[in-house]
């Protein structure tokens, strides 16, 4: 017998079991529940054909065409499912929790699986995702100018069992005009939100969770506005690192990339960087003088970051100075400082 679950119970009971998304591949690629397996009832072309027929000739004709596809596609789904998992407990959904998940679940139930379906389908999941970002969160922000190794510090915090969310990793972007260099293709906005939701869902709401200070837009995706407002109002542990140390870090991490990619990224900020500075930076890249080129760019980003920091409530910022970059040492120091600050409130 197929059991229907609310979104809360679906998410509660589905971990460690296959979550099967029977929507068409294009729907799945646009956004899906993290970890879900796409076993579509219809291909993209079949779904389009059924939809067109529904509009032109009505429900019955569309259903008849769907039945023509159903038999062979169910054979494929059952065969593919065996390749993914031997688990006999399945969690299945479509877009609205209607016909597609219903007919697939019915057949898999007959096939001997214990099947759970999602009431309201993926649409109910998306509603839950979007609503979640307005829920108050126990956020701590790791701040510091470009080249302060904030990502490495986040990793060090995570290794010390602190809760962290790496927004740049989720966005597949390092958060500047140079941020796409060396990264894989970014997720859709919808998938970014889904993945971000799971990061918070799998954390302990009673404990702080660290996020890096970011612009609202990271590459091609945006931090949801309700979450962004919380981040801008959260306490900031601001790491102050000397310019020369940050410059060495930038040269070490970005100097290994293709010069033409670095030049293209520089050109993307030329309106704000200025004609002369852009020309000088490009010339330094051509000469292989990465220190001089990145020095120009780092000063630009320092001004940009400082303006954003100045817009924060200054009483929320705890500044901690370091002479050099050592992610392990910095993580220990900011943890101690934050704990002492919390204790003395």
CA distances (Å), 84 to each of 20, 37, 39, 74, in order?
A: 10, 8, 10, 15
Q: Which CATH class is domain 3-130?
A: alpha beta
| Alpha-carbon span 7 to 5, nearest angstrom | 6
Number of neighbouring beta carbons within 10 Å of residue 98 = 12
Closest CA to 39 of 68, 13, 74: 74
Rg of the chain's alpha carbons, rounded to an integer?
Answer: 25
Out of 3.40.50.10490, 3.30.1490.20, 3.30.750.24, 3.40.50.300, which CATH number does the structure's domain 136-343 have? Answer: 3.40.50.300
Averaged pLDDT in 10-residue chunks for the chain of 345 residues = 96 97 97 97 89 82 78 92 92 94 94 96 98 97 97 97 97 91 95 98 95 96 98 97 98 94 95 95 96 97 92 93 97 92 61
Closest CA to 152 of 216, 239, 258: 239
Q: With H, G, I as helix, E, B as strand and everything else as coil, classify residue 284.
A: helix
94 labelled catalytic:
yes
User: Among positive and negative, which fits the CA dihedral 238, 344, 233, 206?
Assistant: positive
* Per-residue pLDDT at 267: 96
Q: Which residues lie across from 218 on neighbouring strands?
A: 221
* Per-residue pLDDT at 188: 98
Model's pTM, two decimal places?
A: 0.94
Q: Where in the chain is the domain with CATH 3.40.250.10?
A: 3-130
Q: Where in the chain is the domain with CATH 3.40.50.300?
A: 136-343
* Per-residue pLDDT at 153: 98
Structure tokens at 1: 């017998």
Return all residues near 12 (Cβ < 8 A) that are at least 6 apart. Answer: none
Structure tokens at 43: 């291909």
* Per-residue pLDDT at 283: 97
Catalytic site residue from 94, 139, 167, 211: 94
* Per-residue pLDDT at 344: 56
Contact assessment for residue 330 and residue 156, using Cβ atoms and an 8 Å cutoff:
yes
């Amino acid at each position: 017998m197929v059991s229907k679950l609310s979104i809360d119970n679906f998410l509660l009971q589905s971990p460690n079991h296959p979550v099967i998304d029977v929507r068409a591949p294009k729907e799945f690629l646009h956004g899906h529940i993290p970890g879900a397996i796409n076993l579509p009832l219809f291909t993209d072309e079949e779904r389009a054909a059924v939809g067109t027929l529904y509009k032109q000739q009505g429900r019955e004709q569309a259903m008849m065409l769907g039945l023509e596809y159903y038999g062979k596609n169910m054979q494929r789904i059952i065969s593919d499912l065996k390749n993914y998992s031997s688990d006999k407990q399945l969690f299945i959904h479509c877009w609205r929790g209607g016909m597609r998940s219903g007919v697939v679940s019915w057949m898999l139930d007959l096939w001997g699986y214990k099947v759970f379906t999602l009431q309201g389908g993926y649409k109910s999941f998306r509603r839950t995702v979007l609503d979640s970002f307005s829920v108050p969160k126990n956020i701590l922000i790791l701040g510091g100018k470009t080249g302060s190794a904030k990502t490495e510090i986040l990793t060090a915090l995570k290794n010390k069992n602190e809760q962290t969310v790496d927004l740049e990793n989720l966005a597949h972007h390092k958060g500047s005009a140079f941020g796409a260099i060396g990264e894989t293709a970014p997720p859709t906005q919808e998938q970014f939100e889904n993945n971000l939701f799971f990061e918070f869902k799998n954390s302990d709401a009673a404990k702080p969770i660290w996020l890096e200070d970011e612009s609202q837009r990271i590459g091609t995706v945006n931090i949801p506005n309700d979450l962004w407002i919380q981040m801008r109002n959260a306490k900031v542990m601001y790491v102050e690192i000397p310019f020369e140390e940050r410059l060495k870090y930038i040269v070490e991490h970005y100097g290994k990339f293709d010069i033409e990619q670095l030049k293209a990224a520089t050109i993307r900020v030329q309106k704000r960087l200025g004609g002369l500075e852009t020309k000088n930076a490009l010339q330094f890249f051509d000469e292989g003088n990465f220190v001089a080129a990145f020095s120009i760019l780092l000063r630009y980003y320092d001004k940009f970051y400082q303006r954003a920091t100045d817009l924060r409530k200054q009483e929320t910022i705890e500044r901690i100075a370091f002479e050099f970059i050592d992610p392990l040492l910095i993580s220990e120091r900011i943890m101690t400082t934050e704990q002492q600050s919390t204790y003395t409130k």
